[in-house]
Structure 1
């Protein structure tokens, strides 16, 4: 079975009720649910939540909520890995076999179904155990620096100060949209970024963090522009 899990707990300190706040006319979690359903590559699309209202919204948009998430993996210290491990083990306890598991975040409105289709294909036809969304840093991190208490810069790699940007190694970071993996990655709590993993590259303009209300407004504007252009 291919299992897709959207983690969505009820508490959100900086943006109240963030996972079901309306974005482009519907709860933001609905965008993630729809992308998973439209991909048609997952046998189950579920939402793991500790919140009754989120559970009801998820069901309204055709996701399953087969269990309510336990409180011990619903606090500020619970990790995504804990949540996905619990979901996989829940299905194991029901005698079901999970062969591929996807974690897609509830606040990923720029996700495309094709991203998921492609990533599942990479996982299941290649020599990899995990495929994750990634994007290139928009600036050369190898010329980055720290600041001391007097705001004086201390370069991490001072040898790169005189190098041209195009001569520096390209660096990437987690796009924070999805992870698609063999269940053992989550069951054994193995590192997601390792030799057995591969990145699925997402362009900069579709990678957005939504941590504050200011972020939310900016992402809404970007989404509207991309939607008008037919990009999403």
Structure 2
């Protein structure tokens, strides 16, 4: 059995009502629910929330179940893993694979959800498979503020050509497949037992501030127009 768990608490501070705010014409959480449905690999799509308006909206958009989150898991400091653990323990059936899908991932594609499950299920010694993408600038050439000037973070790398530097990746913040026990045991996500599912950079956009929201919405509209014209 496979279940998707979409964490979506109320009370977002930086973007009010973020999870159900209209993004390019539909509630933001709707994109995650739609991608999970299109993947056709989930026996249940569960939304973990503390807010009635989010729960009602999620069900109307196609989520199969709501798990009501207790107050101690609905503050600004609770991480993702305890929320997923609570959902696993609360859901009445045992799932072999659990995929945490963020509610703020409008570029999420069913193709990569399927790829993550396939990669994880074929490797018995691996615990997770999650989305990653490349940095859009060589991080080895980062600089820091130094008084009124700047200085390289790494003097040995700053003068190298981009093509001579190692390609580095970061968490894309879209989805995290995991074995049930890996979640429950709090097995570390960033470890040699996690499989990277590499996304193209243009399908990744954090939405943490109003500026992020505007940029993501513009990118999404351009992306959708491109897809529709192909």
Same fold (TM over 0.5): yes
Q: Which moved more, 1:39-48 or 1:118-127?
A: 118-127
- Output the aligned Cα RMSD: 1.5
In structure 2, the partner of 1:26 is 26
> Where does 1:18-167 land on structure 2 (aligned, <5 Å)?
18-91=18-91, 94=92, 96-126=93-123, 127-148=125-146, 150-167=147-164
Classify the secondary structure of the residue corresponding to 1:81. Answer: helix
The CA distance in 1 between the partners of 2:209 and 2:158, in whole Å, is 34
The CA distance in 2 between the partners of 1:161 and 1:54, in whole Å, is 47
The alignment status of 1:195 with 2:160, answered yes or no, reads no
**Structure 1: where are the runs of 5+ without partners?**
none
Q: TM-score, normalised by structure 1?
A: 0.94
The CA distance in 1 between the partners of 2:168 and 2:143, in whole Å, is 15
The CA distance in 2 between the partners of 1:15 and 1:67, in whole Å, is 23
Classify the secondary structure of the residue corresponding to 2:156. Answer: helix
**Structure 2: where are the runs of 5+ without partners?**
none
C-alpha spacing 1:66/1:224, structure 2 compared with 1 (3 Å): closer
The CA distance in 2 between the partners of 1:161 and 1:80, in whole Å, is 35
In structure 2, the partner of 1:210 is 207
The CA distance in 2 between the partners of 1:140 and 1:214, in whole Å, is 23
The CA distance in 1 between the partners of 2:199 and 2:149, in whole Å, is 35
In structure 1, the partner of 2:180 is 183
Whether the 8 Å contact between 2:142 and 2:158 is mirrored in structure 1 is no
Classify the secondary structure of the residue corresponding to 2:212. Answer: helix
Q: TM-score, normalised by structure 2?
A: 0.95
- The Cα offsets for residues 193-216 of structure 1, whole Å up to 9 and x where unpaired, read as 101001111111110011122221
Q: Which moved more, 1:57-66 or 1:131-140?
A: 57-66
Whether the 8 Å contact between 2:46 and 2:67 is mirrored in structure 1 is no
Q: CA deviation at 1:65?
A: 3.2
